[in-house]
Structure 1
Amino acid sequence: MGARVFIDGEAGTTGLQIRARLQERSSIELLSLDDSQRKDPVHRARLLNSADLVVLCLPDAAAREAVSLLENPDVRVIDASTAHRTDANWVFGFPELDAGQEERVSKARFVSNPGCYSTGAIALIQPLIESGLLPADSALTINGVSGYSGGGRSMIEAYEDEASPNFVTRTYHSYGLGLHHKHVPEIVVRSGLTQRPIFVPSVGRYRQGMLVQVPLQLGALPGKPSVAAVHSALTAHYAGQRFVSVAGLEEASAAQGMLDPEALNGTNDMRLYVFGDEDLEQAVLIAQLDNLGKGASGAAVQNLNIMLGLTADEGLAARAAA
């Protein structure tokens, strides 16, 4: 019999995809509540405390409530909400963060799954700060575009249900213009920044997939690092990683103007690109990923595998069902 896993919030977008990745695996025994029991604290508490590992796919307040219901000290938790992503008592579930992060995840009781935009931003920024090419107090701007599934059920309905009063016909829109997007705090804390970046996210009229962009004025940075040096730092940081890779500079040059946010949909992969011009002393770094894959459910399954001592890519090698 496999490890007992309870997905609290399995009916949501992320929960459904996690379940799809786990349900055929012999190494996992999925625990589930009837529809009538999902909001009953007694039944939820029973399953929360009988599982080996719980994945929380809930709003922040409900995720905190679920943690408060835990009485069994042997239950381990992955929280896909924003609630614990900057909490020092929770291990950040980005195993590629640095050389020791995967081991920290493997030993942790509490793991916070990263946000989708922050996964891309941190992946680009943290190695450059760690290598000394980018000062921690840099004033950065981060831009991104995601499929509408990143907004959860309400946004999905707004884009797909023509009978909905909130039905959206526009092809693209920016949001979060009050500059308080929920992913910014974790980007600051987990990338090592000491100055809050400006983050401008957007939504496109497609279901899933994303690009996260970090432009850099290389000539304004200490030491004026070259485009090649930036690329080398990212390449060295992610050498040997299964799910995060860095495109060669020639590949990036060939892809200019044609980078597809949907290219990695259904996978747990993230591809990093460095575009730049040495004469202009400018660069644009881009992370390409599936906001429901490495940005959500895929990352949760990767963390689950690591925490349970399973092969890291089990359930992640093939394209997951939508």
Structure 2
Amino acid sequence: MSHPPLVFVDGDQGTTGLQIHSRLQGRADLQLLTLPDAERKNPVRRAEALNQCDIAILCLPDAAAREAVAAIANPAVRVIDASSAHRTEPGWVYGLPEMEAAQSARIAAARRVTNPGCYPTGAIALLRPLVQAGLVPPDHGVVIHAVSGYSGGGRAQVQAHEGPQSTLAPAFQVYGLALEHKHTPEIALHAGLSERPVFVPAYGAFRQGIVLTIALLLRQLPRHATGAALHDCLVRHYAGAAHVDVMPPAEAEATERLDPQALNGTNQLRLGVHANARHGQVLLSAVFDNLGKGASGAAVQNLDLMLGAACA
């Protein structure tokens, strides 16, 4: 390219968009295309911006994201969609670089990248390597529990916890009890599960951060699926991954509490295998920032991969 790539963040006033914009401010290797406040919701100006940029990052509700993609007539424009609109759609590259060895290269070369959901980031990171290694059968009845900061609920939850009625906001709430959460098909597809997992999400009264856990009974898994084997599988899979690390066994054994806010402000994902051989039980854990590796940090990581390919 003869000029720094032009990046347009469509929806840069939402929680994810604001953080992406903040992370990109001051970078000399790209230009940020922004619309004045009065033009942000003007469909003509938005369409012009979408077709003028080199890479568009969509931080929009699902329906609006689909409309934005449909409005792109310029075949040179590349897209990172941070919504859940395209996460199970053919033709879109799933934006979890650590998912497998070739994924970073796929993202770097892609025209259309779909950013992972926050909860699926942790669930897939834990499950996919174990399923591929034959340690967790694809048809295993997986139950996933996750607690996120309230920013995961978007503006409505942020307003409920930070607005004038914040004293009425619950300290903790479990939701998705109909077991139809939109992240469930995404988790099943990209984790390689043939049996739909049970996904139980919750919000806590903290702004951001996630703890996600998956409990396993070793007697329900193949004989070679010990706690040590599960841990070693994850260590091998993420060897050399800059943004994912796995707790050493001694640390996992000594850990009595997990702080969902421990990695806030970073693009890091920390995985753990907490095993109790006496009871034949294992708890898999993931801690990360729902607005970092779970959203804006992941989008910028994918953008950097795509910029590297474009500028090569």
TM-score, normalised via structure 2 length: 0.96
Aligned to 1:286: 285
1:83 aligned to 82, 85, 88, which one?
A: 85
1:41-70 deviations in whole A, cap 9, x for unaligned? 110111101101000000000000000010
Superposition deviation, residue 169 in structure 1: 3.2
SS at match of 2:23: helix
**2:205 maps to what in 1?**
205
Alignment gaps of 5+ in structure 1: 311-322
In the TM superposition, what whole-angstrom CA distance separates every residue of 1:279-306 from its partner, at most 9, and x where no partner exists?
Answer: 2111000000000000000000000000
Q: Return 5+ residue gaps in structure 2 as ranges.
A: none
How do 1:255-270 residues align onto structure 2 when only pairs under 5 Å count?
Answer: 255-256=255-256, 258-270=257-269
2:238 matches 1:242? no
1:76-155 equivalence runs, <5 A: 76-155=78-157
Q: Tell me the distance in 1 between the aligned counterparts of 2:125 and 2:168.
A: 32
Could you tell me which amino acid in structure 2 is paired with residue 69 of structure 1? A
Which residue does the alignment assign to 1:320? Answer: none
Counterpart in the other structure of 2:57: 55
**Residue deviations 1:228-286 (CA, integer Å, cap 9, x gap):** 00000000000000001101011111212x21100000000000011011121110000
- Cα distance, 1:35 vs structure 2: 1.4
Offset from partner CA, 1:135-169 (integer Å, 9 cap, x none)? 111111000000000000110000111247xx643
Structure 2 equivalent of residue 182 of structure 1: 182
Give 1:224 shift: 5.0
**Alpha-carbon distance between aligned partners in 2 of 1:201 and 1:249, rounded to the nearest angstrom:** 27
Q: Is the partner of 1:202 in helix, strand or coil?
A: strand
8 Å CA contact retained: 1:289, 1:295: yes
Alignment-derived partner of residue 31 in structure 2: 29
* AA in 1 matched with 2:253: S
Q: Structure 1 CA distance, aligned partners of 2:139 and 2:238? A: 23
How big is the alpha-carbon RMSD for the aligned residues of Structure 1 and Structure 2? Answer: 1.1
Instruction: Render the CA deviation track for 1:17-36: whole Å, top value 9, x for unaligned.
Output: 00000011001100011111
Distance 1:145 1:244 in 2: 19
Q: Deviations over 1:200-245 (max 9, x none)?
A: 1111110000011111111111225110000000000000000011
1-side partners of 2:84 and 2:105: how far apart?
A: 22
Pairs within 5 Å for 1:198-237: 198-237=198-237
Please state how far the C-alpha of 1:170 moved relative to its aligned partner.
2.2
Are the equivalent residues in 2 in contact too, given 1:106–1:307 (CA < 8 A)? yes
Greater displacement, 117-126 / 222-231: 222-231
Secondary structure, counterpart of 1:208 in structure 2: coil
CA deviations on 1:113-154 (whole Å, 9 max, x unpaired) are 000000000000000011111111111100000000000011
TM-score, with structure 1 as normaliser: 0.93
In the alignment of these two chains, the number of paired residues is 307
- CA distance in 2 between counterparts of 1:228 and 1:238 reads 16
Runs of 4+ in 1 over 6 A off after TM superposition: none
Alignment-mate amino acid for residue 302 of structure 1: Q
- Normalized per residue, the structure richer in helix is 2
- Does residue 304 of structure 1 match 2:303? yes
Percent identity of paired positions between Structure 1 and Structure 2: 54
Counterpart Cα distance in 2 of 1:3 and 1:224: 49
Matched, 1:4 2:6: yes
